[in-house]
Chain A
Amino acid sequence: MTKLSAERCPESAISDAFALLSSSNNRLVSIFGSLDEGGTRRVHYLVDVENREYRLLTTAVTGPIPSATRISPAATWYERELHDQYGVEIEGHPDLRPLLLHENWPGGVHPMVDDTSHVPWAQRQYPFLRVQGEGVCEVAVGPVHAGIIEPGHFRFSVVGDTVLHLELRHFYTHKGTEKLFQGTPVGNGPMVAESVSGDNCFAHAVAYCQAVENALGISVPPRGEAIRLVGLELERMLAHIADVGALCGDVGFTVPAVYNSRIKESLLQASARLLGTRFWKGVAVPGGVRRDLSADNARELREAVSLAARDFAEMAEIILDTPSVQNRFESTGILSADIVREMAAVGPVARASGIPLDVRRDHPYGRYREIPLEVPHFHYGDVLARARIRIEETRISARLIEETLGAMPAGAISSPFPGESAGEGFAAVESPRGELLYWVRLRQGHLARCHIKSPSFQNWPALPLAMPGNIIADFPLINKSFNLSYSGCDR
């Protein structure tokens, strides 16, 4: 990972960023804004160059900037967010409707640059895209759904059962998190990061801590890195086991759904017993971790993981052998590799469509620098491929945990970190949903700015592109096979 020097703003930053994005070897990671000390807005373009180097390009903004959306459609939501949050005018953007700020927000308020202590309530209109023609009906779903899931709105345009178009309306759970970070003491940052997406709380905390460590040039002791790896892979196992179970539940195959929920709970209880926390909250801190695993605890956790992995593998085999599952999963919700590239989709969604991105291998961090990683991928891009990716990755994660816990390095679990710290840095981890990146600017021991690139924000716009031609009854299944976080996206 490159250490960032003091912020530079070359004149050519935007054209350089666009030139990078024009190449199919490069991928848009994020576009975000910040304010410098003089209050001037800056726009940052983060690009993954040839799958091996993150490059950050920064420009100072005084007037309108050209839209990157025509070069990389993946820029659409980033630029809408930039327009909402910083009031940056974007020329040539095809759709600058408000994204984060719903009808209740008055026009002209840009939370990252304006005083938001008393924002009046407004009642604006939000125009949805209208699909017209004979027999076209609209079906509106959410934000309050039928299941125990997060809020979001889905607007389907259908003819009969067949979906012609799906429009997403999200950001119901927008909590102003990036602004909330500003002014937070660096040491309290993990608590905010853990609350961005609860089921990936450890990945968020580790990504935040790594960004701080990158900014300050701190290294984590090997034992701390090993414990982080165990937590990250355990979180991936929990997510994937639950997802495969929920996919079965969505096709009415309840026995494996319940069985997988039992496997998941056994792992949560092991963490509660051995670390005092079911989801590894409060474990990651800048400089390392706050909880150690004794030799006995490490052995017990290893046994729980091995047992869970074996139970899951046997159940997964049965699931994939079941004709009714094959019938519903196969060729449902196909996302092509071309769309994955255009939308810069990441994580299991990309890997199921033949694009084998994985931060652990491409931009290794922590303990992953030392271990060769198998990155499975499939080509069909359907629900079945996304289920199989999760089954394969659960097996690999369990093996990584077993190997790590079997040979734990001795020594400290964390390094001291300075209270009065300043600097900029970023770091990415491969969360269960894909590339998760934090960019931080620290001043006097507090966060001056924190940007979160969440895999869900990146992948949500790809979901509607897997829907046309599918029947509306398959939407819950397709949606579940992406399993994106609403809160992680909305922040």
Chain B
Amino acid sequence: MIFDVVKRSLQSASVLIPVEQLLGNCSGSRMPDVQPALLTASIARRVTEACPTSALAFDASRSHLTLNYGECTGCGRCIEVGEGAFLAAAKFARCGVSKEGLVRRFDLNRVSEITPDEPAMAETAERIRAILGRALNIREVDAGSCNGCEAEIIALTNPYYDLERFGIHFVASPKHADMLLVTGPVTRNMAEAVRQTYAATPSPRLVVAVGACGCAGGIFAGSHAVVGGVDAIIPVDGYVPGCPPTPAMLLTGILQVLHRRS
């Protein structure tokens, strides 16, 4: 009965994860990281061949390797063939960044990263409240996703992440929203609905493209029934890569977009 439920719920210990442990966390996301010191031309060639998307590109003439997280589905093949130069990321802060911010470039001649990794955000709960003021209302829009991103967005509301603690709510209509969180490669059949949803959202409004598909079309890039990433249809303020991005990555991304715009 209803009192048993309440009693049971009160008896269970809190599982809330402090925000400091969430920001930059990517456990279970399968995103790769790079050790520039261990990169060689043969590794660069091999990982680029193994990559099933165009996330990795190697320019042999200049010895430049590019890793575009926006196109990475986290399949882990680069880690398998990368002889230690590629490994599972322990931290990942490139969430909610610009499209250019998703890209890492390495110069193999100089054994260095041309664009050094951004330091993980060090936000505190107070700082987040200061940015948000009283609330942020998000309308989630599935523009053709496989529903993996939806599963992780829904997880943001569970007691581990408890998005409401920051004053962030999911709302039922774009007319109530400050931010659109858009998933999926935009399909031909959803393109018009995405345009209309954006038009119905009052300005100022923010758009966050979620997942490998939302960033650049993901595994569906090039399909005849897909238009492309979210920015093929509407302007995007920040990108959260991953297939799917974990709840911690989504939270990091949402806060990073606000941070960059504040």
Binding site for B on A (CB under 8 A): 100, 102, 104-105, 111, 116-117, 119, 143-144, 146-151, 171-177, 179-180, 188, 191-192, 194-199, 201, 253, 255-256, 258-259, 261-262, 264-266, 268-269, 271-273, 276-279, 281-282, 314-315, 318, 321-322, 324, 485-487
CB–CB A261/B224 < 8 A: no
CB–CB B28/A269 < 8 A: yes
Which residue of the partner chain, among A104, A117, A175, A264, contacts B144 with CB atoms under 8 Å?
A175
CB–CB A261/B158 < 8 A: yes
Q: What band does the interface of chain B fall in when counting residues whose beta carbon is under 8 Å from A?
A: 35 or more
Q: Which B residues are in CB contact (< 8 Å) with A318?
A: 1, 4-5, 8
Given A276-B28, A277-B30, residue A314 in contact with residue B147 (CB < 8 A): no
Q: Which A residues are in CB contact (< 8 Å) with B219?
A: 180, 191-192, 195
CB–CB B146/A198 < 8 A: yes
For chain B residues 167-204, which have a beta carbon within 8 Å of chain A? Answer: 170, 172-174, 184-185, 187-193, 197
CB–CB A198/B150 < 8 A: yes
Which residue of the partner chain, among B4, B160, B225, contacts A265 with CB atoms under 8 Å?
B160
CB–CB A175/B220 < 8 A: yes
Q: Does B75 contact A (CB under 8 A)?
A: yes
Closest to B193 in A: A143
CB–CB A173/B6 < 8 A: no
Q: How far is the CB of B134 from chain A (nearest CB, A)?
A: 22
Given A255-B5, A282-B74, residue A151 in contact with residue B190 (CB < 8 A): yes
CB–CB A175/B4 < 8 A: no
Closest to A188 in B: B52
CB–CB B146/A197 < 8 A: yes
Q: Does B149 contact A (CB under 8 A)?
A: yes
Closest to B223 in A: A176
A/B interface sample: 20 pairs, CB < 8 A:
A102-B188, A102-B189, A104-B191, A117-B224, A148-B154, A175-B220, A176-B220, A176-B225, A195-B243, A197-B147, A199-B148, A259-B8, A261-B154, A261-B159, A266-B15, A268-B28, A277-B28, A282-B75, A314-B8, A485-B147
Q: Which A residues are in CB contact (< 8 Å) with B36?
A: none
Q: Which B residues are in CB contact (< 8 Å) with A146?
A: 172-173
Most buried by A among B146, B159, B170, B193: B146
Q: Which A residues are in CB contact (< 8 Å) with B144?
A: 151, 172-175, 487
Binding site for A on B (CB under 8 A): 1-2, 4-6, 8-9, 12, 15, 27-30, 52, 73-76, 88, 140-155, 157-160, 170, 172-174, 184-185, 187-193, 197, 213, 218-220, 222-226, 243-244, 246
CB–CB A175/B28 < 8 A: no
CB–CB A175/B187 < 8 A: yes
Q: Which B residues are in CB contact (< 8 Å) with A180?
A: 219-220, 222-223
* Alpha-carbon distance between A276 and B188 when the two chains are bound, in angstroms: 34
* Alpha-carbon distance between A105 and B192 when the two chains are bound, in angstroms: 13
Q: Which A residues are in CB contact (< 8 Å) with B174?
A: 144
CB–CB B147/A486 < 8 A: yes
Closest 7 CB pairs of A and B: A198-B148, A272-B28, A176-B225, A116-B224, A146-B172, A198-B146, A261-B158
Q: Which A residues are in CB contact (< 8 Å) with B1?
A: 318, 321-322
